[in-house]
Chains A and B, each alone.
Chain A
């Protein structure tokens, strides 16, 4: 079927590679294993642990975004990347402002 061949030539069908998926897979397991190991062995004091885990989560998310979801600026993917980048500040505002709001709220209305 000629239509099938044209379809498979589409830039988005050809996005990604075995190497990218495999590297992403191995690194994801290594990083999540590292995070798990830190928690399981209580290797770090709590404030440091919090920072380390957030850092690992951030690294994992970026890694998967690039290697699994193939975020890039190629014509086929440019608008997906743009939409994602515009969404990120909203996610941060939603969560950070909520934490801030309720932290001060509990300080003031629910003294322990």
Chain B
């Protein structure tokens, strides 16, 4: 192997770490592992989606209209958070907090609507203990709703931090992670909506 022996090589060089880039990359990897969790659940769903065990079928359980309303709510929340991120990029803290608040309220509507659906199903005796299909139905939707709920709490925490700490480097990196988290939930919801709600209604 040949190397240039005449030039004096640089042996040492200090560099400044990219805190934001490091943190968002790691969080992105975490979100990919979260996607794998959903993929494993969808693999289970592909096996269990016809295991009614004499219980209610998917056509009886899912309401595609409710799924569509959920979609509109979630996409709106994602859009609002996106606008909030633009406010952050120009340094408008008040607008950022306002948009985050709106996004959280709309997302709360999403969780509330889904909880209403769950309560309604449980009231009809369609509980996760009834059949393999209902088990995976509740776990898949429940896990997504849990993510949204955690996201809402995270937004509240970030509203406090933006208000009291300002847009410091750690706060901004957390906000960017929150954005990544929220938009991944939107992508996953597309799969839930199409494969659980719509294909479930088709049968």
* A50 and B169 contacting across the interface, CB-CB below 8 Å: no
**Cβ-defined partner of A40 (8 Å) among B46, B64, B86, B199:** B64
Does B76 lie within 8 Å of A83, measured CB to CB?
Answer: no
Chain A interface residue number, banded:
35 or more
Known A-B contacts A10-B20, A21-B83, A36-B68; the reply to A80 vs B43 at CB < 8 A is no
Would you call B28 and A80 a contact (CB within 8 A)? yes
Distance between Cα atoms of A46 and B203 in the complex (Å):
9
Contact mask for chain B residues 159-195; partner A; CB cutoff 8 A; 1 contact, 0 none? 0000000111100100010001001101100110111
Are A13's CB and B172's CB within 8 A? yes
- The verdict on A32 contacting chain B, using a C-beta distance below 8 Å, is yes
Write the nearest CB–CB distance from A32 to chain B, whole angstroms: 5
Bound-state CA distance A14–B183 (Å) is: 16
Pair B89/A14 contact, Cβ less than 8 Å: yes
Alpha-carbon distance between A3 and B170 when the two chains are bound, in angstroms: 11
Of B29-37, B120-128, B130-138, the one contacting chain A is B29-37
Is the interface on chain B under 10, 10 to 19, 20 to 34, or 35 or more residues? Answer: 35 or more
Report whether A95 and B43 are in contact in the complex, using a CB–CB cutoff of 8 Å: yes
Is B65 a contact of A83 with CB atoms below 8 Å? no
Interface status of A7 (Cβ within 8 A of chain B): yes
B46→A39 contact, CB < 8 A: no
With known contacts A8-B167, A40-B64, A68-B186, A87–B35 Cβ distance under 8 A? yes
Residues in chain B within 8 A of chain A (CB atoms): 20-21, 24-25, 28-29, 32, 35-36, 39-40, 42-43, 46-47, 64-65, 67-68, 71-72, 75-76, 78-79, 82-83, 85-86, 88-91, 166-169, 172, 176, 180, 183-184, 186-187, 190-191, 193-195, 198-199, 201-203
